[in-house]
Amino acid sequence: MADTTLMSIPGQVDPVPVARDITPRADGRIDLMGLPKSRIRELFAEAGLDAKQAKLRSKQVFHWIYHRGASEFSAMTDISKTMRPWLEERFVIARPQVVEAQHSTDGTRKWLLRTADGHDFEMVFIPDADRGTLCVSSQVGCTLNCRFCHTGTMKLVRNLTPGEIVGQVMLARDALGEWPKGKMDFSDDADESEYRADGRLLTNIVMMGMGEPLYNFENVRDALNLVMDGEGLALSKRRITLSTSGVVPMMERCGEEIGVNLAVSLHAVTKEIRDEIVPLNKKYGIEELLEACAAYPGASNARRITFEYVMLKDKNDSDEHARELVRLIRDYKLPAKVNLIPFNPWPGSQYECSSPERIKAFSNIVFEGGISAPVRTPRGRDIDAACGQLKTAAEKKSRAQRDREAAEAAVAQ
């Protein structure tokens, strides 16, 4: 059973994230996952290493964790055999537990993951011809209650820690088998001819999984800084997109302190409709949101803001809505594109997906207005991995049932 309670979020109140870079463990060891090199160095010094040793070992361990994907100190071959047991007694490199892994017929993969304190969340990998995108969660559950989103029907349990966020990227690279292989050396004159990084399958990250990233800003920032660190996972900020439903006060900080691409879950162009389907609009209205988009640091024609727009039949999909969308983007002089998302129906939802013809007509109007408006192809629907469908059904399955399904899948391969 999970041993933390639900976060109490009464009404339209911003959740206050409780920063914690280390999750306490029952065995007393300290988990290094999610920690920057400077913090690892501090912990090594506190554990008894002198300043010079702490600096060297932290550099080595950081490299092995984030660049080589090591999860055991025994794999760190440039650290002396006598030092490795010392590290193992005091520290650990943990990943979130994989409860279940599913593979869609279209190649999409979804993982059900579990935190050390027993809470479940999900991540999704979407392969395409020219890229592979990992959809990463930032919270267990969500507090926004967007009416069209299945994930939004979950209660917010807690924020994910930096380790639990970056751990999703580590797990994906584990599963894809794309960690660098070969020898390594920290000396300045090291021969790098035997050290290579194979072509990456995971090329892009989107913070579009469970939760609102800007309601867990510090932890998301710290995790993405590790992902972007040139000595770590080394993924360019241009290949990372953070999606928000419109937490206006945090948007400028996001641009300044993280600097990744911005996506905004707009979904409607009038106050009445957006108040209904994205309740956060009652707190931060469309005009205030678009002003924050116009001021977003780094936004340009080369780095456009993406507006996500789910297509709901007879709700937000008329020609008038399309023309108003064009007007808003032009009036606020936004370097933007629009992603049109066919609605993914789920049991209990009150909405239907717009027809293909209506979506095409909407897209054409926006294109004619000089704004790119591609229609997103739904992916992973057969495993409930499509946009808005990350709502774990783990509680509906017993451990025996999951083990049985895993055994059947192994036999089928």
Annotated catalytic residues are 122, 387
DSSP state for residue 336 in the 8-state scheme:
E
Rounded to 5°, the CA angle 146-150-154 comes to 85
**Which residues, 6+ apart, have CB-to-CB distance to 191 below 8 Å?**
185
SS3 299: coil
Q: Which contiguous run of DSSP H or E holds residue 168? A: helix 162-176
Identify the CA nearest to 195 among candidates 210, 179, 214, 182: 182
Contact of 278 with 146, CB cutoff 8 Å: yes
Contact of 322 with 365, CB cutoff 8 Å: yes
Total Cβ atoms within 10 A of residue 52 = 8
DSSP state for residue 86 in the 8-state scheme:
H
Token pair in block for residue 180? 């660098």
User: How far is Cα 314 from Cα 249, in angstroms, rounded to an integer?
Assistant: 32
Token pair in block for residue 391? 């709502």
Partners of 375 in the beta sheet? Answer: 340
**Which residues, 6+ apart, have CB-to-CB distance to 213 below 8 Å?**
138, 207, 220, 242, 243, 244
Rounded to 5°, the CA angle 133-405-151 comes to 45
End-to-end Cα, the chain, rounded Å: 32
